[in-house]
Each structure stands twice: as structure tokens, then as C-alpha cells.
Structure 1
């Protein structure tokens, strides 16, 4: 039985985040977006990726962080969950790491803070911390709003 999972690592404001590699289709350079009128502020727009129209979520805006992307470094992580493809706009994406199950802690429970709803664990490896995102919760919130 597999005792570890692989995660794609990316950064938002110099902090390390992780998403399960099984949910990642590709990682793309930032390209032209088509804006969607009357969409939520964190929806950057949509892109045409090899014939598929994919909505792009700016994770900085979604998490209430300052929005100052460096287009050269930024990447779009194309994810797939529950038959939905969504691109996540991030500052940079650098590597894939293995995290053993004993290297992952539960997220802190801080007074029902909505930002922690997106985090399903905190990985610890080589003195670094990685906030592991719960993609399904991010996408469920998308559909409710």
C-alpha cells in the first residue's frame, strides 16, 4: 500500500502551497484571457486550451491576497475534479514532491476562518511547510456563489 502522495508545489506571495498531482492535468504559461462579464472578482476569465474552454481562478484574489502577478513567472495549473476543468493562476510552480502520510498534519482550527476551509493539510518536509489545498472545496464554493 502506498504510504505517500505526490504534490505539485506552487507559490502565492512567497508561501508554499501544494495540490495533489492526481488532480493536475497540465501546467501552462500565462496566456490571453477572455473576460467574463459579471463574474466574481477572482475569476480572471476563460482560456481556450487545445479546444477546451477553461475558467481561470486567480488564487491570490480568491484568498484575499494582494494581486500583483509577475506574468513571466506566473503559471496556470490546469486541474480536473468531478468532471470540471479549472485553471488556477499562481505566482510560480516549481516542483513535485512526495509527502509521507506522517509528514502531513491537519490544518489549524481557527474560529471557522473561511480561508482554512480550502486547506486539507499542512505538509512538512526539509524544514519547509506546504499548505495542501482541497480543490473540491474550492470548486464547491465556486458553484454556490
Structure 2
């Protein structure tokens, strides 16, 4: 890496054919899909809650949140357990691709390139290995900005 450039480690994951990322410092663990308990009157994108090693954790279905087509679960699906605004949450993803360095100066503000209904849910965007990578604004996506 050249002098003056800084990078962060990100977990890259898929939702349909899109690649998204989350900073590895926010990730506690990556788990296989497990049984969930439905939560009555929860937001439409809350898939349910899981009991992970004695902790009750809400699980967010990002595909629902982003208005994507729902698909059947398979062996590649994962739940990324993360800390967002001091809350522990599970984030359902189609698959985890890799953990990789991304140079901070290559991440563009999403408002420069992403618009529309879900544009305010994306914080940054970059190119990595031939794919566009979206970095969601997780507090906004999860409705935790005002908490």
C-alpha cells in the first residue's frame, strides 16, 4: 500500500447479485441461518429473533428492507452478527464473499451516484475486483439513527 493511503477491513457479502460491505470492526461473528422466532408488530424487515449463546438478537432481512425479491434459504446464507449504535443485531445475507481491505479514499459518498427510494440507505460506494460494492448506512437502514 502506498504511503498516505489508509484502508479498513470489510466483510463483503451478497444480496441477490449485489455486493455490500460492513466494517469488520462492527462484526462480532458470522453464523449459519438458524431457527428464528417471529416478533409480533415488528417492522416489516425484522425477520425475527434468535437465541445465540444465551443472547436474544433481532435479525434484519436486508433484502426486504431494500425491496429485493425474496428467495429460498440455502447453505450459503449467513447471519452477520454486528454492533450498530451500541445494539447487537443480526443481518441476513445471501452469502459472505470475503474479508478484504478497502482503501478509504476509493469509497465515494453514495449521494453522488445513488438516488431513488433507497438512496438514503447507502452511505458509500466503491469498485472492488470488478464489482460495485455498496456500504449501507446501517443505523439508517435499521432505524437506529434517533436512538
* TM-score, length-scaled by structure 1: 0.88
Structure 2 unaligned spans of 5+: none
* Worse-matched range after superposition: 77-86 or 28-37: 77-86
1:13 aligns with 2:16: yes
- Conserved? CA contact 2:12–2:98, under 8 Å: yes
Deviation sequence 1:74-117 (CA, Å, 0-9, x none): 10001102220010111111211111123211214579634121
After superposition, the CA RMSD in angstroms is: 2.1
In structure 2, relative to structure 1, the CA distance for the partners of 1:96 and 1:58 (3 Å cut) is same
Partner of 1:92: 95
Instruction: Note the C-alpha offset of 1:64.
Output: 0.5
- Conserved? CA contact 1:42–1:62, under 8 Å: yes
SS of 1:45's equivalent? strand
Deviating beyond 6 angstroms after TM superposition, the runs of 4 or more aligned structure 1 residues are none
Measure the CA separation in 2 of the matches of 1:142 and 1:38. Answer: 17
Which of 76, 80, 87 aligns to 2:79? It is 76
- Conserved? CA contact 1:69–1:91, under 8 Å: no
* Worse-matched range after superposition: 125-134 or 109-118: 109-118
What is the count of residue pairs matched by the alignment? 143
* TM-score, length-scaled by structure 2: 0.87
Structure 1 unaligned spans of 5+: none
- Conserved? CA contact 2:5–2:105, under 8 Å: no
- Conserved? CA contact 2:5–2:103, under 8 Å: no
